[in-house]
Amino acid sequence: MEPIRQQHVTLHGFNNLTKSLSFNMYDICYTKTRAEREAYLDYIDEQYNADRLTAILKTVSDIIGAHVLNIAKQDYVPQGASVTFLVSEGPVVEVPRESYEESPGPLPDSVVMQLDKSHITVHTYPEYHPDEEISTFRADIDVSTCGEISPLKALNYLIHSFDTDIMTIDYRVRGFTRDITGNKLFIDHDISSIQNYIPDEVIDLYDMIDVNVYQEHIFHTKCKLKQFDLNNYLFGYTKDKLTPEEQRDITERLRLEMDEIYYGKNIIR
């Protein structure tokens, strides 16, 4: 069998720094019966199937100025989906200086900078706990770039693409590149917090925790919705269908689930 000949891609002004953004979102829902669980999972599978996720990642590619080389996508049984993009440098456009500042990135219709070699992936994980009557949907998105722009510029759009109760965001710069005199650069932009790339109107909605290791160029931010409205966590009906005791019990279960995900540990109450 002849090996498959692959087209070589020319890299322009290659920057060896690897900048990786990991965006993890969680959606929580109270599903008391098997029928409710199945209906919720069917809804999630329809809302975030491989085609919808592909459209989201294509917009991420546009925002970071990438050219899509290859797309692999898959829906799974009983639920879940995965999409992977391999991308290279996209059209180079004139870039405002603001692109280097710590500020929220653009929403669609704005293409910003060049990058050279990169990949973008998304995987979804719908699951449920039949004893606790809670279903959870998680999506993991990773944007890894080698080039001038930080993938943090796509964070604003990602946040607006999902209904999120909890977000966990990691950003890391790895490797090194060199300036024209040969000096190594281990990071090529200033960053003090991922929160600076999140719009104020979104920050106002969430409690947030930062854990940053500045000398290693590692940044971590966790977000949990401040306001709790039980109606947002019931599937197919509203809280007026429940007794006050049921409302209190379900609220306590949901808050515990969210706290355990947010703090990353089991909590005994």
118 is catalytic: yes
- Sign of the alpha-carbon dihedral angle for 109, 112, 114, 116: negative
Record the tokens describing residue 66, joined without a space.
Answer: 């990438």
- Look at strands 184-185 and 177-178 and give their pairing: antiparallel
Whether 29 is catalytic: no
Q: Given 29, 61, 88, 118, which residue is catalytic?
A: 118
146 is catalytic: yes
The answer to whether 111 touches 84, Cβ cutoff 8 Å, is: no
Residues 146, 150, 161, 223: which is the catalytic one?
146
How many Cβ atoms sit within 10 Å of the Cβ of residue 90? 20
Give the number of other Cβ atoms within 10 Å of residue 36's Cβ: 19
Per annotation, catalytic residue among 67, 82, 119, 123:
123
Contacts for 39 with CB less than 8 Å, ≥ 6 apart: 31, 235, 236
Q: Which residues are catalytic?
A: 118, 123, 146
